A and B are shown apart, each in its own frame.
Chain A
Amino acid sequence: MTTTAEHSAATTFTLSGDREIVMTRAFAAPRELVWRASTEAEHFANWWGPRGFANRVTEMDVRPGGRWECVQTAPDGSVHRFWGEYLEVVRPERLVHTQRYLEYPPLHVTVTFETQAGGGTLLTSVTRFDSPEGRAGMLGAGMEWGAREAYDRLAELVATL
C-alpha cells in the first residue's frame, strides 16, 4: 500500500462556463468499490449528504431509464426527497443521471471513475444546470447549511472561476 493512498485527498470545485459545477475527489479504493458505493442502495445510504443527515434509498435501479430516489432527513427533522433517472450506465467507468428536487428543473450529472497509479480512484462529477439562473436557483433548495464569512477569499475566487 502506498503512503498517498492513506491520505484523503482534497475535493476540488470549479465553476465551469455559466451552468456547470465540476468536482473531483481521489479515493484510496479500487474503482469497482467506488462504483458499488455509488450505485448500490445499502452502500449509497451510508455516505450521501452532510454528517448528521440520514438517508432512506427507496429506489436505485441502475440501468438506462431506471429510477433512483433517496429521502434524506436533516438533523433539524426536515425531510428532503431527491430523485432522478439513469441515462447512461457504463460499469465501472461512467454514470450519467438526472437529479431532481422539489419543482426545480432537473440537474444533469455525469460521474466518471478513473483508476489512478497506485490503485486509487479519481471521481469526477460534472453537474449541469438548465441555465445560469438554475445554478443560482439551487439556493434555498434545502442546501442552506454551512454558510460562512469568506471576504478574504474574494480575489482568489475571482481568479479561479
Chain B
Amino acid sequence: MSPDRLSATFAALADPTRRAILARLSRGEATVTELAGPFAMSMPAVSKHLKVLERAGLIERGREAQWRPCRLQAEPLKEVDDWMDQYRSFWEESFDRLDEYLRQLQRRERTDDHDR
C-alpha cells in the first residue's frame, strides 16, 4: 500500500460532490446523466469530477457506446479503510486503557477518602 496512492485517494475523497458520487455508485453503476441528476451541476462539471475519481482509481468507466457507465472500484477505498483501521486501533485501545485507568484512579480516591 503506497502512501502516494493513498494521498491521491484522500485528495479525490476530499470533495463532498465526489463522495456523493461514490456513495451513489456503491449502490450500482450509473451513467453520467444519472449521476448529474441529483446535483445542480452541468454535465461538464460532473465529467470533471469523474475524471479525478478515475485518475485516483476509484471508478472505472465502461467502453460501451456513448453511455460509458461508471462503476465503483473498491480497492483504493479498502486501502483508506485499512489505513483508518490502524489509526483507529491505536486510539481505540488507548482510550479503552484511559477509561480503565480513570476508573482505577477514582476507586483509589474513594478508598483513600474512606480510610481518612
Interface residues of A (CB under 8 A from B): 8, 11, 13, 15, 17-18, 21, 23, 25, 27-29, 33-34, 37, 43, 46-51, 123, 125, 131-133, 135-140, 143-148, 150-151, 153-155, 157-159, 161
Partner of A27, one of B11, B86, B90, B102: B102
Q: Is the CB of A138 within 8 A of B105?
A: no
Nearest Cβ in chain B — how far from A53, in angstroms? 9
Known A33-B105, A145-B89; contact A47-B14, beta-carbon cutoff 8 A: no
Q: How far is the CA of A147 from the CA of B88 in the complex (A)?
A: 10
Residues of B contacting A125 in the complex (Cβ-Cβ under 8 angstroms): 91
Q: Cβ of B3: which chain A residues have Cβ within 8 Å of it? A: 133, 136-137, 139-140
CB <8 Å contact, B98 and A27: yes
A-B contact count (CB 8 A): 137
With A136-B83, A146-B85 already in contact, the answer to whether A8 and B96 are too (CB < 8 A) is: yes
B11 engages A132 (CB within 8 Å): yes
> 5 A–B contact pairs at CB < 8 A?
A47-B101, A48-B97, A50-B89, A132-B10, A132-B11
Closest to B85 in A: A147
Do the beta carbons of B102 and A21 come within 8 Å of each other? Answer: no
Q: Chain B contact residues (Cβ within 8 angstroms of A): what range?
A: 35 or more
| Contact yes or no, B87 A13, CB < 8 A | yes
B7: CB under 8 A from chain A? Answer: yes
Q: Please name the residue on chain B nearest to A144 by beta carbon.
A: B86
Q: Residues of B contacting A161 with CB < 8 Å?
A: 13, 19
**A residues near B6, Cβ cutoff 8 Å:** 136, 139
Asked whether A34 lies within 8 Å of B74 as measured between CB atoms, the reply is no
* A71 nearest CB across to chain B (Å): 16
Q: Are A23 and B91 in contact (CB under 8 A)?
A: yes
Residues of B within 8 A of A159 (CB): 23, 26
In the bound assembly, the distance between CA atoms of A131 and B22 in angstroms comes to 23
Cβ < 8 Å to A, chain B residues 47-83: 72, 74, 77-78, 80-83
Q: Let me know if B95 is at the binding interface, CB within 8 A.
A: yes
B116 contacts A by Cβ under 8 Å: no
B74 lies within 8 A of A151 (CB): yes
Contact pick for B86, options A131, A132, A146, CB 8 Å: A146
